[in-house]
Amino acid sequence: MAIKSFSKINLSLRVTKKLSNGLHNLQSYFCLIDLHDLIKIKKIKGTKHLVKFSGKFSKHVNKKENSILNTLKILESNRLIFNNYSIDVKKNVPAFSGLGGGTSNAVFLLKYFIKKKNKKIAKISRILSENIGSDVKLFFQNQGFLKNINEINTFKKKHKVHFLLVFPNIKCSTKYIYSKVKKFSTNSEFSFNQINKKDKFLYYLKNSTNDLQLIVEKKHNRIKKLILRIGQLEGCVFSRMTGSGSVCYGVFQSKNSAKKALNTIKRIYPKYWSVIAKTI
């Protein structure tokens, strides 16, 4: 059995305060995109699970401590799986990129094993959030607004959006980036009026921000230059960084304009990883 583990993009990101547990309260418009890791799952005989990573970005995965192994342990300790499995993850999503690849692997593995037990999913997802990351909840919605660290407003209408993604071969430490947050944004109220039409939604997002972007740009000036360069490409509505970085992206008016932009970026930055993607 093979399942797709989709990545996410933060279309906006506000850091509103630091919580007593050390985490930060966030607000973010987000979406899942069709860029995905591929997870192959097979029941096996033996005394332990066999977990293997392949693909372009597999070398950045800690083979002894990762989200797949952690998820399997949590499922076992909660008596939700009783067999051993061979799991092969083809890593197409860059690590340390802000696309949530490792968290996505955990969530989609969870949904595979207990997809018919909704109460159990809610319970285990909370445990995953505590052990893997607070962005676990994002991967249960294709598009939405993270109102705070515990609550998501879902979209009644989903918008089709095309992206150019560029990974500048910089590994951003989420822990380090958040340690540099000194100022906090005010809370923003979610309104369906802001998203009921695609043009209105993109205009709203264009005038939004990612509060972590300035911190990353100060540490890595080439990310600032890359975001500006993407924004200058024909058909780009706006350009930004996702999450705590370092993947930079542009939102484009159409698939064709995104394709043309990809060709330009490949020519200018031949050593950077770059692809086009769209919302799922």
* CATH code assigned at 123: 3.30.230.10
What's the confidence (pLDDT) of residue 194?
Answer: 82
Please give the pLDDT value at position 248. 98
In this prediction the pTM is 0.95
131 and 21 both lie in a single domain: yes
Here the tokens at position 215 are 């911190």
pLDDT bin (cut points 50, 70, 90) of residue 46 is: confident
Q: Classify the C-alpha dihedral 1-102-99-204 as positive or negative.
A: positive
Please indicate, yes or no, whether residues 228 and 119 belong to a single structural domain of this protein: no
Residue 108 sits in the same domain as residue 52? yes
Q: Check if the beta carbon of residue 29 is closer than 8 Å to that of residue 269.
A: no
Element (H, E) at 201: helix 198-206
- Report angle CA 135, 110, 40 to the nearest 5 degrees: 110
pLDDT per residue over 99-145, tens digit each?
Answer: 999 999 999 999 999 876 677 888 899 999 999 988 999 999 999 99
Query: What are the tokens at 67?
Result: 């989200």
- Residue 264: other Cβ atoms inside 10 A: 17
Question: Residue 152 pairs with which residues in a beta bridge?
Answer: 146
User: For residue range 174-225, what is the model confidence (pLDDT) as tens digits?
Assistant: 999 999 999 999 999 888 888 889 999 999 999 999 999 999 999 999 999 9
pLDDT of residue 265: 98
Could you tell me if 61 and 179 lie in one domain?
no
Q: Which residues are catalytic?
A: 8, 135
Residue that is last in its domain, among 99, 134, 154: 154
Task: State whether 48 and 183 are in the same domain.
Answer: no
Question: Residue 101 sits in which domain range?
Answer: 2-154
Compute how many other C-beta atoms are within 10 angstroms of the C-beta atom of residue 131: 14
Q: Is 31's pLDDT higher than 90? A: yes
